[in-house]
Amino acid sequence: DIPSLKDVLAPDFTVGAAVTPAEITGDHADLLAKHFGSVTPGNAMKWDATEPTEGAFKYTDADAIVDFAAAHGIGVRGHTLVWYQQTPAWVFQDASGTTMTATPENKALLLSRMENHIKAVMGHFKGKLYAWDVVNEAIDETQSDGLRHSMWYQIAGPDYIADAFRTAHEADPDAELCINDYNTTVAAKRQALYNLVSSLRQQGVPVDCVGHQMHGNIDWPSASDTAATIEQFAGLGVDQQITEMDVSVYTDNTSSYSTIPAAALTKQAAEYKALFDVYRSHRDDISSVTVWGLADDNTWLDSFPINRLDAPLFFDRQLQAKAAYWSVVGDGSST
Ligand code: G3I
């Protein structure tokens, strides 16, 4: 019987996995309950899942995951309230079904829909989730203001971000409120996110936490860039969470294996160890580390950026522990 990942890492931080409703039954549920102290619904709490048409809220899948978590003493991270993907078209359309442009009326309508969504969804789960990704992927470091010029931004301007956090704080004052993004180890992106979080906090906007997604591969990112990122945000006094980690066996967008080479899995184990060593040495700044999937049999990377066999997680397609798992667990004693 192998050690429990969450028990080994408990002195450092909570360890979580993203899950789909299918993974809270059978062998997957056993694996989840043994090794993970936190779950993030991978899709079930997104806008297209929870409010596909205006005012008609649906929580079946999300409730199933939250109930499973409660029954097994597992914490839940909410993901995500305001994003530019997986958001139904109606959100950005006016009464005539036309995509909105930046007028004061449209801004007011969009923000009222956003506030209504945040209050309803957070209200539904109030007291059951320890953290929420309130705003997801708002940064575009190639823009002069560092912000993604998504539909949110185009219609409402940058104000939507502060408004989302203030509304979220009202809806569930006890939940930790995070801004979540990818590629935060890249210097320009890190700086743009830092500038935003720093400015929001100076204005008293309740941003409690920065979520680093940490989608990477067997060569990237480096431990030193990862440490530099954690250290820069630590200076703001925010909590940090690793929210969506995985380590692709591919380093380009085109190649594809029919069988994953052993050497790639060995490199993957080294990458997991290097980054977990960074997380552990910054345990005072990082409260949770979540991997984006339970096992290699269900990973978004099998269909991104192309359809191909990937293997980015701790457990293989038969749910067996991989070298990546052992590189983090070591001899199984907690630190
Ligand atoms: O719901 C439909 C289903 O009806 C249909 O039969 C099926 C056929 O393809 O597609 C289903 O929707 C898919 C959905 O996942 C649920 O499985 C979408 O096509 C697919 O695009 C969607 O992918 C999700 C992706 O976000 C969308 O952007 C991934 O599962 C999810 O893991 C991924 O997660 C994101 C985080 O939220 C934010 N950070 C990046 C991360 C990876 O992209």
Query: Would you list the domain boundaries of the chain?
Result: 5-329
Ligand 1 atom closest to the Cα of residue 18 is 32
What percent of the chain has pLDDT above 70? 100
Mutation test of ligand 1: which of 48, 87, 179, 300 has the most ligand atoms closer than 8 Å to its C-beta?
Answer: 300
Q: Residue 335 C-alpha to ligand 1 middle, in angstroms? A: 36
Strands, E assignment, 144-217: 176-181, 209-212, 215-217
* Confidence bin at 213 (pLDDT 50/70/90): very high
- pLDDT value at position 2? 97
Q: Residue 57 C-alpha to ligand 1 middle, in angstroms? A: 19
Stretch 191-195: mean pLDDT, rounded? 98
pLDDT at 123 over 80: yes
Task: Please state, in angstroms and rounded to a whole number, the distance separating the CA atoms of residues 294 and 15.
Answer: 11
3-class DSSP state of 83: coil
pLDDT at 58 over 70: yes
In sequence order, which residues have a C-beta less than 8 Å from that of residue 204 and are 6 or more positions away?
none
Q: Give the residue from 158, 259, 157, 273 showing the smallest Cα distance to 226.
A: 273
Whether residue 244 lies in the annotated active site: yes
Q: Residue 60 C-alpha to ligand 1 middle, in angstroms? A: 17
Q: Give the residue from 179, 163, 149 showing the smallest Cα distance to 113.
A: 163
Ligand 1 atom closest to the Cα of residue 79 is 37
Whether residue 141 lies in the annotated active site: no
Stretch 21-34: mean pLDDT, rounded? 98
Q: Residue 316 C-alpha to ligand 1 middle, in angstroms? A: 21
pLDDT at 335 over 80: no
pLDDT at 334 over 80: no
Cβ proximity of 15 and 6 under 8 Å: yes
Fold type of domain 5-329: TIM Barrel (3.20.20)
Task: Please state, in angstroms and rounded to a whole number, the distance separating the CA atoms of residues 271 and 221.
Answer: 9
Which residue lies with its CA nearest to atom 30 of ligand 1? 300
Which residue lies with its CA nearest to atom 23 of ligand 1? 300
Q: Residue 69 C-alpha to ligand 1 middle, in angstroms? A: 22
Mutation test of ligand 1: which of 23, 39, 40, 43 has the most ligand atoms closer than 8 Å to its C-beta?
Answer: 43
The catalytically annotated residue of 51, 137, 176, 271 is 137
Task: Please state, in angstroms and rounded to a whole number, the distance separating the CA atoms of residues 89 and 303.
Answer: 23
Q: Identify the residue whose tokens are 């052992």.
A: 326
Q: Identify the residue whose tokens are 């890249």.
A: 186
Q: For 276-313, write each residue's pLDDT tens digit.
A: 999 999 999 999 999 999 999 999 999 999 999 999 99
pLDDT at 167 over 80: yes
Pocket of ligand 1 (CB under 6 A): 42-43, 85-86, 136, 213, 244, 300
- Answer left, alpha or beta for residue 188, where phi above 0 means left and psi between -120 and 50 means alpha: alpha
**ipTM exceeding the 0.90 mark:** yes
